[in-house]
Amino acid sequence: MSSTLTLRSWLKHLAASDRLAVVREHVPLKHRLAAIAKNLDGSKAAFFPRPGGHAIPIVSGFMARREWIAEAMNVPESELLARFRHAAEHPVPWREVGREAAPVQTVVHDKDIDIRALLPIPTHSEHDSGPYITAGLLIARNPKTGIQNVSIIRIQVNSKDRMAVLILPRHLFTFYQAADAKGEALPVAIVIGVDPLTLLASQAIMPIDHDELEIAGALHGAPLAVVKCLSSEVRVPAGAEIVIEGRLLPGVRETEGPFGEFPKYYSDVEEREVIAIDLVSHRKDPIYHTIIPAEMEHLLLGAIPREATLLAHLQRSFPGVLDVHLSEGGVCRYHLFVKFSKKREGESKNVIMCALGAHYDVKHVVVVDDDVDVHDPKQVEWAIATRFQADRDLIVVSGAQGSILDPSTTVATSGRAASAQLEGVSAKMGLDATRPLSYAGHIFTKVKIPGEDEVDLDQELAAAPGIDWEKRLVE
C-alpha cells in the first residue's frame, strides 16, 4: 500500500483479496451487529450496509491481523515494530488545508443535533449500559502549549447531545485538569473513520506534547492533511469520514458504564466526565467505524505501539533483547514474552526487572532464549516447561501498580470495596525461562533434524503419483 492509503482504498484492497465480508442489510444495532463482527474477527473485515435501517454503513475489523497491519505499513511482519518505532522517532508535521479541500466538512449539522439519529451507534456487549462509540479518535489541544493529543477513549451516548467518557490519567487528563481548574470547557473533536495508519498512530505511547497525527504523517511518508474544526481551534484529519465537535464540560459528571473492556470483563458504573456536542460534520456518504471491544482489532491497535515502545526501552539497557510479544492470551497487554540472547548469567533476571517497570500494564514477563519464537505461545510454554525452575527462576513483586481494568487486582487489595479495583494494585511476576550458558553434552540443545527447514515438499512429492505404491500392499 502506498502513501495515499485511505480508509476507502484499504477497504477496496481488502475486498479485492476476499478479506471484506458484506453482511445483509438491516442488521440490528443492538448486539447482533457486534455478534456478527465478532464471528468474522481476524478473518475478514465486516461491512454492514443499512445497519438498523440507518443510511450510514458500518465497518469493523479492518485491522484485526498483525500481517494486515504490516501490509498497511508496507513492511514485512518482522519489521513492523522497527517501522513503527522509526515513525515515532521521526514525526512529520501535518499540513493544514481549507474547508474546500476537506471532505469531512462536506455535510454539517449544527442545529437540533441528535447524535443517536445522525449516526448508527451499536450496543456491543451483554451488560453494556447502551450504545458506545468505540473507534472515536479524541483530539484536544494542550491549553498551555496548543499542541494536540490523540487518543481513543470509550464514549457512552447519554442523550441526543451529551456523552460520558472514561479519561485515563494521561495527556488528555492533564489538558482537562488544566481547563477544569479554571472553570473552562476543553474543546474536543471525535474523529470516526480514519485510514489504518492514522488509527494505529493514535495509539503511540509518546511523551506529552507529541502530536500523534505527526506519527501518522511519518507512517504515511507524507504530511497528513488536517482541517480546522468549525467550532474550535482543534485540527482533524481532512479525509476522515465523520467528526463530532464538542466540549468536555468543567465540573460536570454523569454516570458511565458498565462497559465490556479489553480484558474481556466489564468496568463498573462510575461518575465520569461529560462531552457536550456542538456540531457534527461528515463526508457526503460517510462510513462509520466500530471496534468490537476485546477482539483482535481492539487488542492489536494497543499491542503494536506498546511492543515497539517496550522493545526500544529494553534494548536501551540490553542489546541482547531481540524481540518482544504481548500475547493474545494476555489480552495483548498483561503478558510480555521477551526473546533474549543471554551473554552473562543473571542478565535475564535484569531484563525481567526492566520489563516489569516499563509499563504498568505488564503483569507477567517470560524471558526466553533466541531459539524460541515469542510469537508462538506453544514454544514459550515449552521453554517454561523445560528451562524454568520455580525456586530459582521466579521473581515476584507484591503491591505494584497494575492495570485498573484487571479484575484480579480487587483481590490483590485484600477484599476492600469494589472501588479498590480502580487503584489497580497488582502483583508482578517474572519467569526466567532461559537455559544456562554452559551445559553438559546436548541436554539443553533443542532437537532438530538436519535439513528440516529446507525441505521443499512440492518437489519431494512431485514424482510420487507415478509410483504404484498400492502394489506393495498386496499380501
Binding site for Mn ion (CB under 5 A): 149, 171
Residue 340 has φ and ψ, to the nearest 5°, of -140, 135
C-beta closer to Mn ion: residue 171 or 342: 171
| 144 burial type by CB count under 10 A (0-12 exposed, 13-18 middle, 19+ buried) | exposed
* Distance in Å, CB of 106 to Mn ion, minimum: 29
Instruction: Specify whether the CB–CB gap between 352 and 395 falls below 8 A.
Output: yes
* Distance in Å, CB of 393 to Mn ion, minimum: 37
HSE-up (13 A, CA, CB side) for residue 239: 19
Instruction: Specify whether the CB–CB gap between 101 and 271 falls below 8 A.
Output: no
C-beta closer to Mn ion: residue 161 or 214: 214
Residue 442: Cβ within 10 Å count: 8
C-beta closer to Mn ion: residue 34 or 206: 206
C-beta closer to Mn ion: residue 204 or 352: 204
C-beta closer to Mn ion: residue 171 or 289: 171
Question: Is the N-terminal amide bond of 258 cis, ω within 30° of 0?
Answer: yes
Q: 191 pairs with which residues across the strands?
A: 137, 243
* Distance in Å, CB of 216 to Mn ion, minimum: 13
Closest residue to Mn ion, based on beta-carbon distance: 171
Q: Which has the closest alpha carbon to 14: 42, 38, 36, 35?
A: 42
69-73 contacts: CB < 8 A, separation 24 or more?
69/196, 69/200, 69/300, 69/304, 71/1, 72/1, 72/5, 72/10, 72/196, 72/197, 72/200, 73/197, 73/200, 73/219
C-beta closer to Mn ion: residue 123 or 149: 149
| 436 burial type by CB count under 10 A (0-12 exposed, 13-18 middle, 19+ buried) | exposed
* Distance in Å, CB of 281 to Mn ion, minimum: 24
C-beta closer to Mn ion: residue 149 or 198: 149
Q: 95 pairs with which residues across the strands?
A: 225
C-beta closer to Mn ion: residue 149 or 290: 149
* Distance in Å, CB of 135 to Mn ion, minimum: 18
* Distance in Å, CB of 188 to Mn ion, minimum: 14
* Distance in Å, CB of 171 to Mn ion, minimum: 4
* Distance in Å, CB of 142 to Mn ion, minimum: 10
Cell numbers for 242, please give them.
465523520
C-beta closer to Mn ion: residue 141 or 342: 141
* Distance in Å, CB of 172 to Mn ion, minimum: 8
Q: Going by C-beta distance under 8 Å and a sequence separation of 6 or more, which residues neighbour residue 164?
A: 155, 156, 158, 254, 255, 256, 272, 273, 274, 275
| 109 burial type by CB count under 10 A (0-12 exposed, 13-18 middle, 19+ buried) | middle
